[in-house]
């Protein structure tokens, strides 16, 4: 599975870059996940190990060679000078037909 900044699946990212958001505000980030395998991916779970980031929307299943959007919301308690970059953990089942 790959993560992209755009729904045309051209700008792949390896880490999610949340930039700088002022404390007390929130910002929504939309990325796109793409199943680059020939298996159907089911029971997908997405996780970020940061308490101020919520995953508001994500696909629970992806057909082979298809993608859907994933939405993150960052509500920082403090303003970071250099912004926040983090990795996302993905788990699920591969179903081969």
Give the domains, in start order, of the chain with CATH numbers: 2-95 (2.60.40)
Whether the per-residue pLDDT at 83 is higher than 80: the answer is no
CA quadruple 30, 36, 38, 44: dihedral sign = negative
Percentage of the chain with pLDDT > 90?
65
Whether the per-residue pLDDT at 97 is higher than 90: the answer is no
Instruction: Output 51 or 81, whichever has higher pLDDT.
Output: 51
Residue 39 CB partners (closer than 8 Å, separation 6+): 64, 94, 95, 96
Whether the per-residue pLDDT at 1 is higher than 80: the answer is yes
Predicted confidence band of residue 58 (pLDDT cuts 50, 70, 90): very high
d(CA 4, CA 14): 9
Instruction: Output 36 or 24, whichever has higher pLDDT.
Output: 36
Whether the per-residue pLDDT at 86 is higher than 90: the answer is no
Whether the per-residue pLDDT at 42 is higher than 80: the answer is yes
């Amino acid at each position: 599975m790959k993560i992209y900044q755009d729904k045309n699946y051209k700008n792949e990212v390896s880490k999610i870059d949340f930039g700088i958001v002022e404390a007390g505000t929130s910002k929504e980030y939309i990325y796109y996940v793409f199943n680059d395998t020939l298996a159907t991916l089911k029971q997908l779970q997405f996780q970020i190990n940061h308490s101020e980031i919520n995953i508001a929307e994500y696909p629970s299943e992806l057909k082979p060679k298809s993608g859907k959007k994933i939405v993150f919301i960052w509500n920082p308690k403090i303003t970071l000078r250099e912004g926040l970059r983090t990795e996302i953990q993905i788990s699920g089942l591969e179903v081969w037909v």
